[in-house]
Structure formats: structure tokens, C-alpha cells
Amino acid sequence: MSKKQIIEIKVILLGDSTVGKTCLLMKYMKKEINDFHVSTIGIEKHSDSIEIFNHKLTLTIVDTSGQERYRSITKNYYVHADGILLLYDITNRVSFNHIADWLKEIKEKAKENVCIYLIGNKNDLEDEREIQKEEGENFAQSNNLKFYEISSKFDKNLRSIFIDISENICKENKIFEKEEISGVILNNSEKKKKGCLCPK
């Protein structure tokens, strides 16, 4: 039997500065989170081994700076992304308003079948909420995005988001044939042209 191929999935985190991208990643990677915000400079990469459909995959997560002066750097990573977690801060109306601009950039730079999830972050700050959950859900639905509202600081199920998007990437790119579970089959010849079919 031939040796199984090592599959790598690339997911990038996008959104305005201070929406909690780095905090989400650190929580996922089970690293310490503190209350002192340090902006990401350019990009940072982290890798993890995950299991999807009984196969081991390498998940590479790219944390990007939301600051305008680094946008030319982060845009270079769009084209290589299989999935994108697009974050806004539920306590910051401006960060939500900018989501449309981020989506425009993604459509211009990313590959056509990239899987995009909209993430409303910091729902532990309910008293400071400016964007209702229904508003985020409606925006996601109208743009064919899957939606989560989370607290990257306290949620214990952040791993499920990365597993979920990885599964959808595998389905979208036909990385594993539906009937094939025992071995890895790569089949990227037929890719859909209008984004990830993310289940609601």
C-alpha cells in the first residue's frame, strides 16, 4: 500500500486590528492569554496536526495584522488560503462595517472556492455590545458565509470552528472522495467557482 500523502490546509485570520484574531489563535493553540494587547506585525504562522475524516492533516493558521500599513503584506497570503476566518468585534461597530471591505479584498485576491466563515468575537462583553447576533447572522446568510459568535478569551469550543472549516475545505476541494476512507485521494480538477458551500 502506498504511503499516505500529507495534506496541508491553510486558514488565515482576517479583520480589523484589535478584533481578537491573535487571542483566538492563542486560545486554540492552548497558549497563555493576557489582557495586554500586542498587535501582530505583518503575519505570524502556527501549525497543528488535526484529524479529518480519519486522516491526519496539517493545519497551518496565519494570523494577520489588521493595520493598514501591513495590508500589502497580508494580501499576498490571500491567494494561498483554503479557508478564511473573518473577524469583527461585537462591541465595535466600525469593525463590523469594515467586513464588506474585507470581503471585497478577498474576492479580488483569494481563490474562487475559498471557504469563508464570519466570526463575531468578544460576546463575553455583552454590556458593551453594539452589533446584535441577528445582524451578524443576516449578513453572513446574505453573503453565503457560515457564522459563529464567540468569545476567543473564554470559549472552550474554538477547536470545533477549525475542525468545521477544515472539513468543509476537504469537501469543497474533494480532497477525500466520499466513498474513500482508507486512503488519501487528491482530486482538485473540479473546483466550484462560487465559494464554499458552508452548511447553515
What are the residue boundaries of the structural domains of the chain, listed by start? 7-172
Burial 136-152 (b: 16+ CB within 10 A, else e): bbebbeeeebbbbbbbb
Q: Bigger pLDDT: 147 or 199? A: 147
CATH topology of domain 7-172: Rossmann fold (3.40.50)
* Eight-state DSSP code of residue 5: P
Nearest-angstrom CA–CA distance, 66 and 147: 20
Are the CB atoms for 196 and 114 separated by under 8 Å? yes
Nearest-angstrom CA–CA distance, 80 and 36: 31
| Residue 35: pLDDT over 70 | no
Burial status of residue 198 (CB atoms within 10 A of its CB: 0-12, 13-18, 19 or more): buried
pLDDT, residue 30, reads: 76
Distant-in-sequence, close-in-space partners of 175: CB < 8 Å, separation ≥ 6:
7, 169, 184, 185, 186, 187, 188
pLDDT tens string 152-187: 888 877 889 999 999 999 998 888 764 343 333 333
Per the confidence metrics, is the pTM higher than 0.85? no
3 state DSSP class of 88: strand
Distant-in-sequence, close-in-space partners of 132: CB < 8 Å, separation ≥ 6:
none
Answer left, alpha or beta for residue 31, where phi above 0 means left and psi between -120 and 50 means alpha: beta
pLDDT, residue 58, reads: 94
pLDDT, residue 42, reads: 56
